[in-house]
């Protein structure tokens, strides 16, 4: 080894030494401190929860850790239309609402609060209140005395649900007064009426009986059946019986809206007129159910309204004996007897009919049409 070659003693680099120290310190710190920095203990709705360090209110809200839920989109009565589509749930610290980006701190005590519901918009509807019908007197003949006036109401309704939130009556309706009366009770006359036809196989049999007994009755036809069976309808008219309008399709007129009322009354009238060649002058509502609006339509069509005074409820299909006996027992001078030639099996009615006729004739009764019965009124 040459003395010239002096190998200098290795020198420690001060910067490298610093790095080593820093490494040791950092490692020590990491072991002790990092676990604490990577987690955050908070209480949410009374439950201790560990969150990652640096958690914000948003991470709690979006992870469903809170008890509270978002509000709903609701209708005016509070029923949800879309669940969860209301305001979001809120997170509070010391009663103060946190924004999504607010940081959470170790030991925070947080509570959640349900989001508010969002209520649908409302709109105001102005509707008419039909005049109620007030009946005075008793009997099968009905005459409108005063037509009454409809009322007006304003309703606040849900724009989507159409449910009513509140109602305010702007004008009270005044009633339609209908006077009920009976034909004069001194003459021994009764009117037989047959509803719900024409009905193939039944109407003809009734016509045969009436012809044999030489009796005229009144037939309240349903427009759609008259249209379907015009030959039977015409046969009734040609036999000299009175023809009445019993609506187009036998709807409950008390519950019908304007469009339906018009169809039931005027279409019914037209269909019966076309089939029979006779313009009906009498109207009987299905089930006898009328409203003031329906009564106005009927009057405008030039029809008289009649119900009945003897009803053996033949549509319940009693046996011919009880059916006939009930009619015979209840009849008095001026009675309007309700029977059916259509609407179902009327074999009991057909079998009871001669029995009814013979018994009443024996008691001295004459059978008349409604027009003839009405003349007896005067
Ligand atoms: Zn009927």
CATH value at residue 170: 2.20.230.10
Q: What is the pLDDT of residue 10?
A: 47
Same domain, 188 and 273: yes
Q: What is the pLDDT of residue 309?
A: 93
Q: Does residue 216 lie in a domain region?
A: yes
Same domain, 115 and 252: no
Same domain, 205 and 88: no
146, 162, 179: which is the final residue of a domain?
179
Same domain, 211 and 328: yes
Task: Read off the pLDDT of each residue in 268-296 and give the average, rounded to a whole number.
Answer: 95
Q: Are 176 and 292 in contact (CB under 8 A)?
A: yes
Q: Higher-confidence residue: 346 or 9?
A: 346
Q: Are 122 and 76 in contact (CB under 8 A)?
A: yes
| Ligand 1 centroid from CA 272, angstroms | 15
Mean pLDDT of the chain: 89
The pTM is what?
0.69
Q: What is the pLDDT of residue 66?
A: 87
CA–CA separation, 73 and 119 (whole Å): 6
pLDDT of 140 over the 60 cut? yes
Same domain, 211 and 290: yes
Task: Read off the pLDDT of each residue in 354-372 and give the average, rounded to a whole number.
Answer: 97
pLDDT of 378 over the 80 cut? no
Q: What percent of the chain has pLDDT over 70?
A: 89
119, 136, 151: which is the final residue of a domain?
119
Counting the structural domains of the chain, the total is 3
Q: What is the pLDDT of residue 2?
A: 41
Q: What is the pLDDT of residue 32?
A: 47
Same domain, 115 and 171: no
| Ligand 1 centroid from CA 287, angstroms | 6
DSSP string, 138-202: -SSEEEEEE--B-EEEEEEEETTT--EEEEEEEE--BPEEEEEE---SSS-EEEEEEEEE--TTT
Q: Does residue 187 lie in a domain region?
A: yes
Q: What is the pLDDT of residue 184?
A: 75
| Ligand 1 centroid from CA 332, angstroms | 23
CATH value at residue 22: 3.10.20.30
Q: 195 catalytic, yes or no?
A: yes
Same domain, 326 and 341: yes
163, 179, 195: which is the final residue of a domain?
179
Q: Does residue 8 lie in a domain region?
A: no
Same domain, 101 and 57: yes
Per-residue confidence band for 1, with pLDDT thresholds at 50, 70 and 90 = very low
Task: Read off the pLDDT of each residue in 137-162 and give the average, rounded to a whole number.
Answer: 92
Q: Does residue 5 lie in a domain region?
A: no
Counting every residue written for the chain, the total comes to: 378
Q: 371 catalytic, yes or no?
A: no
| Ligand 1 centroid from CA 245, angstroms | 10
CA–CA separation, 252 and 261 (whole Å): 9
Q: Which of 241, 250, 340, 341 is catalytic?
A: 340
Q: Does residue 51 lie in a domain region?
A: yes
| Ligand 1 centroid from CA 344, angstroms | 11
Same domain, 111 and 222: no
Same domain, 246 and 343: yes
Per-residue confidence band for 36, with pLDDT thresholds at 50, 70 and 90 = low
pLDDT of 143 over the 90 cut? no
Q: What percent of the chain has pLDDT over 90?
A: 73
Q: What is the pLDDT of residue 3?
A: 42
Per-residue confidence band for 23, with pLDDT thresholds at 50, 70 and 90 = low
CA–CA separation, 262 and 268 (whole Å): 9
| Ligand 1 centroid from CA 313, angstroms | 11
Q: Does residue 137 lie in a domain region?
A: yes
Report residues near ion ligand 1: CB below 5 Å. 195-196, 286
Q: Which residues contact 18 (CB under 8 A, 6 or more apart)?
A: none
Q: Which of 72, 75, 108, 195 is catalytic?
A: 195
CB atoms within 10 A of CB 187: 14
Structural domain that includes position 148: 122-179
Q: What is the pLDDT of residue 17?
A: 54
CA–CA separation, 293 and 130 (whole Å): 7
Q: What is the pLDDT of residue 374?
A: 87
Q: Does residue 310 lie in a domain region?
A: yes
Q: Does residue 7 lie in a domain region?
A: no
Per-residue confidence band for 178, with pLDDT thresholds at 50, 70 and 90 = very high
Model pLDDT for residues 208-266, shown as the tens digit of each residue: 999 999 999 999 999 999 999 999 999 999 999 999 999 999 999 998 887 899 899 99
Whose CA is closest to 111, among 97, 99, 123, 121? 97
Same domain, 47 and 65: yes
Per-residue confidence band for 313, with pLDDT thresholds at 50, 70 and 90 = very high
Same domain, 112 and 127: no
Q: What is the pLDDT of residue 60?
A: 86
């Amino acid at each position: 080894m040459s003395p010239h070659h002096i190998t200098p003693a290795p020198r420690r680099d001060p910067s490298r030494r610093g790095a080593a120290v820093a490494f040791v310190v950092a490692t020590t710190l990491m072991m002790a401190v990092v676990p604490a920095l990577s987690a955050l203990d908070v209480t949410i709705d009374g439950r201790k929860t560990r969150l990652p360090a640096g958690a914000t209110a948003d991470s709690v809200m979006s992870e469903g850790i809170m008890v509270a839920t978002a509000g709903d989109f609701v209708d005016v009565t509070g029923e949800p239309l879309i669940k969860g589509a209301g305001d979001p749930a809120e997170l509070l610290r010391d009663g103060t609402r946190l924004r999504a980006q607010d940081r959470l701190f170790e030991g925070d005590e947080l509570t959640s609060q349900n989001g508010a519901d969002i209520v649908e918009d409302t709109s105001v509807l102005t509707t008419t209140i039909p005049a109620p019908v007030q009946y005075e007197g008793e009997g099968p003949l009905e005459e409108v005395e005063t037509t009454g006036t409809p009322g007006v109401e304003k309703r606040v309704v849900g724009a989507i649900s159409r449910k009513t939130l509140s109602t305010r009556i702007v004008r009270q309706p005044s009633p339609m007064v209908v006077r009920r009366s009976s034909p004069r009770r001194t003459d021994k006359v009764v009117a037989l009426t047959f509803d719900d036809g024409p009905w193939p196989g039944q109407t003809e049999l009734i016509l045969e009986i009436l012809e044999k007994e030489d009796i005229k009755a009144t037939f309240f036809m349903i427009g759609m059946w008259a249209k379907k069976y015009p030959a039977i309808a015409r046969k009734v008219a040609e036999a000299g019986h009175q023809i009445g309008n019993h609506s187009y399709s036998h709807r409950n007129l008390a519950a019908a809206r304007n469009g339906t009322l018009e169809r039931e009354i005027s279409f019914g009238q037209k269909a019966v007129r076309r089939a029979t060649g006779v313009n009906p002058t009498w109207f009987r509502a299905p089930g006898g159910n009328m409203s003031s609006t329906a009564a106005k339509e009927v009057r405008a069509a030039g029809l008289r309204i009649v119900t009945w005074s003897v009803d053996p409820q033949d549509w319940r299909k009693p046996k011919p004996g009880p059916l006939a006996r009930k009619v015979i027992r209840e009849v008095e001078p001026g009675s309007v007897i309700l029977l059916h030639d259509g609407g179902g099996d009327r074999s009991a009615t057909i079998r009871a009919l001669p029995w009814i006729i013979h018994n009443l004739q024996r008691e001295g009764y004459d059978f008349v049409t409604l027009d003839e019965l009405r003349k007896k009124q005067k």
